[in-house]
Structure 1
Amino acid sequence: MNLMTRLSAMAALVLAVPANAQTPERIETAAFSMVNQWGDATDALLSDANGVTRISLNSAAASLNAATSAYLDGNFYGGLFEFSVHDGYRVTGFSFSGSFEGLLHVPPNPDGTPGNGLAYNSGNVEFSAGSRPYGILYGEHSMRVDMLDGAMPFDMSIGQLSLTTDFNLSMQGLILVSAYPTVTPENPSGIDAFASLRVVNPVFTIYTMAVPEPDHYAMLLAGLALVGVLRRRQKKYRQFYKIDRMILHADHAM
């Protein structure tokens, strides 16, 4: 069985897994509320201060995790996060961050030469943002890893926004792993290989700022006007003071 055939079989295995029962989870902050319409695990508010809100995607971490020492395994995750922006606030950007962690091990032959087994992993995550109802795409990113033995962090950011209306964030991910044993004359049944891959610490970061109320704008404009008046008076006073100094100097010179 070649590699492409194996991957096709793995994908079919993942997609054939029935979906779990899903219960929407709601997170409330001063600036917005978030509901994960497809979540089957409780996401958590990590922090919310100074216009920066961090939300742990526990549902994604629970799903995007697979390991095997016997042929094929995999997992899929899809999350649809509906955001409602509260009055008096605007959303200026958001990001999806985390890290891929993978482990690959193929047992060597008894003499230390590479074994004929196989350990493989592959992962992909996609992050996008758009208006609700749909129509405007604010941005999208994706990241893929293959044959990862170690850790690889990622951070997908979408910024320079000013959203005061509802919007959606969506995240999809796919994890595939496979492992085939090393077969030797001494071990005709094979020595197990191992492959794993997972997404660790997936987090949404939402950036917000307060929108000044109309009376705050009025006070700001009044303050700017007062500053302008004071500056004009100061300039006028300096001019008169300069003229008086010149006259006084002329009197002393006579």
Structure 2
Amino acid sequence: MGPMNLITLQLGAVALAFASATATAAPTVIEAKTFTFSNPDSQLADVLVSDTGSATTIRFSDFASSMAVKSSEADGTDYSGEMSFAARSGYLITGYSFSATFAGTLDAAVPPGGLAGAGTASNRGSVSLFASGADNWSRNGNRQVKLLNGNDAFVFNAGNIMLTQMSMSLNGSMTVFATPASWTTPDGVVHSQDSLAGLTLLNPTLTIYTSAVPEPETYAMLALGLAVIGLTRRRRQGRAAQA
């Protein structure tokens, strides 16, 4: 391979790598059957899990990736994202359900033989979801955990709404703190062992519920049907009175 071809190949590889990085960091836009979802703050593309038309589930991959911290000392992370939903013509957003699970790890080191000098491990996390729409409609959900050693599942939901546009503000924070155990054995030797604290958010998913808006012709036919039923009832009542 000649020098010029090699340079061209290298430049092509650099361009491809840049394009891949740009695509990864690009805002998420999902075209569902009944609405368009946009997350302009995403660095990792969110994933369309299922789309039946009346219920659409999206996994927040970027949020899950951001909400993870594990350390033998002090550490933390946070996330803030603004998302929007626009129903397609002929549809309304009627509800949503957001679910996720906190997973915490606390492993405080303990000196052997009951010696003094135990380490510490702690964690703290929070997730909040604020949704808003027309006519001052809004819903707010918040979940907090502290000193979690295990799992904590939660759900935020809302129903009986009729929106063509909806915005969501999703926020989260995680902090952990750990100190090592330190002890001295009878021979005067100082020993140390790290503690560990961790906190992550598993499978954050959002399901949006939608329904079709009846066409004006449907309302007209319904009104006509009700009028016919009312007229029939009045005729029957008149005949009964004459009898």
Q: Structure 1 pair 114/170, CA: closer, same or farther in 2 (3 Å)?
A: farther
What is residue 154 of structure 1 aligned with on the other side? 154
Cα distance in 2, alignment partners of residues 223 and 27 from structure 1: 40
User: Displacement of 1:47 after TM fit?
Assistant: 2.1
Deviates more, 1:113-122 or 1:98-107: 113-122
TM-score after normalising by structure 2: 0.80
What is residue 29 of structure 2 aligned with on the other side? 26
Q: Does residue 36 of structure 1 match 2:35?
A: no
Task: Work out whether residues 107 and 115 of structure 1, in 8 Å CA contact, stay in contact via their aligned partners in 2.
Answer: no
User: Displacement of 1:136 after TM fit?
Assistant: 3.6
CA RMSD of aligned residues (A): 2.4
What is residue 72 of structure 1 aligned with on the other side? 74
User: Displacement of 1:151 after TM fit?
Assistant: 0.7
What is residue 219 of structure 2 aligned with on the other side? 217
Which segments of 5 or more consecutive residues in structure 2 lack a partner in the other structure?
Answer: 1-23
Offset from partner CA, 1:179-229 (integer Å, 9 cap, x none):
211111147341111111011111112121111010111122222233334
Secondary structure of 2:228's counterpart equals helix
User: Displacement of 1:43 after TM fit?
Assistant: 0.9
What is residue 195 of structure 1 aligned with on the other side? 197
What is residue 86 of structure 1 aligned with on the other side? 88
What is residue 57 of structure 2 aligned with on the other side? 54
Cα distance in 1, alignment partners of residues 162 and 236 from structure 2: 39
Cα distance in 1, alignment partners of residues 112 and 102 from structure 2: 32
Task: Work out whether residues 101 and 153 of structure 2, in 8 Å CA contact, stay in contact via their aligned partners in 1.
Answer: yes
Q: Structure 1 pair 230/116, CA: closer, same or farther in 2 (3 Å)?
A: same
Task: Work out whether residues 106 and 115 of structure 1, in 8 Å CA contact, stay in contact via their aligned partners in 2.
Answer: no
Q: Structure 1 pair 142/23, CA: closer, same or farther in 2 (3 Å)?
A: same
Cα distance in 1, alignment partners of residues 116 and 101 from structure 2: 29
User: Displacement of 1:57 after TM fit?
Assistant: 0.6
Higher strand share: 2
Aligned length: 217
User: Displacement of 1:63 after TM fit?
Assistant: 0.7
Deviates more, 1:106-115 or 1:121-130: 106-115
Task: Work out whether residues 33 and 53 of structure 2, in 8 Å CA contact, stay in contact via their aligned partners in 1.
Answer: no
Which segments of 5 or more consecutive residues in structure 1 lack a partner in the other structure?
Answer: 1-20, 244-254
Secondary structure of 2:65's counterpart equals helix
Cα distance in 2, alignment partners of residues 112 and 143 from structure 1: 37
Cα distance in 1, alignment partners of residues 52 and 236 from structure 2: 41
Task: Work out whether residues 27 and 39 of structure 2, in 8 Å CA contact, stay in contact via their aligned partners in 1.
Answer: yes
User: Displacement of 1:114 after TM fit?
Assistant: 7.8
What is residue 97 of structure 2 aligned with on the other side? 95
Greater Rg over alpha carbons, structure:
1
Percent identity between the two aligned chains? 35
What is residue 175 of structure 2 aligned with on the other side? 176
User: Displacement of 1:239 after TM fit?
Assistant: 6.7
Cα distance in 2, alignment partners of residues 110 and 49 from structure 1: 57
Q: Structure 1 pair 137/222, CA: closer, same or farther in 2 (3 Å)?
A: closer
Cα distance in 2, alignment partners of residues 94 and 74 from structure 1: 29
What is residue 8 of structure 1 aligned with on the other side? none
Match for 1:105 among 107, 111, 119? 107
Secondary structure of 1:59's counterpart equals helix
Q: What letter corresponds to residue 176 of structure 1 in structure 2?
A: T
Deviates more, 1:110-119 or 1:85-94: 110-119
Secondary structure of 1:111's counterpart equals helix
Cα distance in 2, alignment partners of residues 168 and 237 from structure 1: 57
